[in-house]
Amino acid sequence: MKGNPNSHLTAKERDKVSYPTRKLYNMGVIEGEVLDFGSGFGKDVEFLNSKGFNCTAYDPHHAPEYPDKKFDTIICQYVLNVLLPEEQAEVLMSVSELLKPTGKAFFTVRRDLKRQGYRTHYVHKEPTYQCNVKLPYKSFFKNDFCEIYEYRHFTQVDNGKEGIFENPSPDAKLISELATVYSIYDKYPVSNGHALVIPKRKSTHYFEMNDKEKTACRIMVERVKNILEKKYQPDGFNIGFNMYEAAGQTVFHTHIHIIPRYKGDVENPRGGIRNVIPGMGDY
């Protein structure tokens, strides 16, 4: 990111495994194929591989080959604290996309930061950024120095929280997820790749969402559109939502449709969404 070019300078050259990774290992929660997202110099990867795990390193600076498969366990240690909010969103979405449907991810954040913002790194003498981070995920472990959050796909969690819409089906295929919104494929698609972006907090329509949720939806819509372009190569998109029964809304919880369009999928596509009223597409 142009506003935070030195986040990689915060990676520490350790001579042993990090505290949260050792903690997770000792608690027996690391399973299957493992990804260290934001692996830095790779000491945690080295440790886990020495313990018999198949652990992959990914770090934009130190191990930049992006993974091409999904993982049972993903660890993300002290990464979010050194990133700007938009960069944090990128990490949360990426981890959700790289996690197997029944997998678990563990995000560790610092709890001992006294001053937030930019500062001059005491070794590299370059400006680096740090901030406190709180996530709406299960707090798995906490002490005075750090907190470990456990993340699972929203489709796999019975959240049971008042004000949140009914849980999506565990069979729903999650595309991507942020702290406040998620995306799945439509159960009754009108085209190949038809997707939905849905806020987690219950609201009747788009204009009942708060600004944070609207921003998250905007980020997610763009993310999902890019994913669908790569996967399905559509020729266009219809993107929008229905508001109230008169406009065709049948599920009264905010959801944004991202509908890939393909040449020849209708006889005459002219007018696009104007065709919600028959005959009004041609003008």
Active site residues: 255
Neighbours of 223 (CB within 10 A): 21
Query: What angle separates helix 19-26 from helix 43-50, to the nearest 10 degrees?
Result: 20
Q: Quickly list H helices, the chain.
A: 19-26, 43-50, 85-98, 211-232
What does residue 46 show for φ and ψ, rounded to 5 degrees? -60, -45
Contacts of 240 (CB under 8 A, 6+ apart): 256, 257, 273
Using CA atoms, how far apart are residues 193 and 157, in angstroms rounded to an integer? Answer: 24
Nearest in space to 163 (alpha carbons), one of 149, 180, 150: 180
- Whole-angstrom Cα distance, residue 283 to residue 279? 9
Looking at beta carbons, which pairs linking 57-61 to residues 24 or more positions away fall under 8 Å?
Answer: 59/8, 59/11, 60/8, 61/8, 61/11
Using an 8 Å Cβ cutoff, are 274 and 238 in contact?
no
Buried b / exposed e across 198-218, counting CB within 10 Å, b at 16+? Answer: bbbbebebbeebeeebbbbbe
Please name the amino acid found at residue 200: K
Q: How far is CA 103 from CA 31, 106, 148, in A?
A: 9, 10, 16
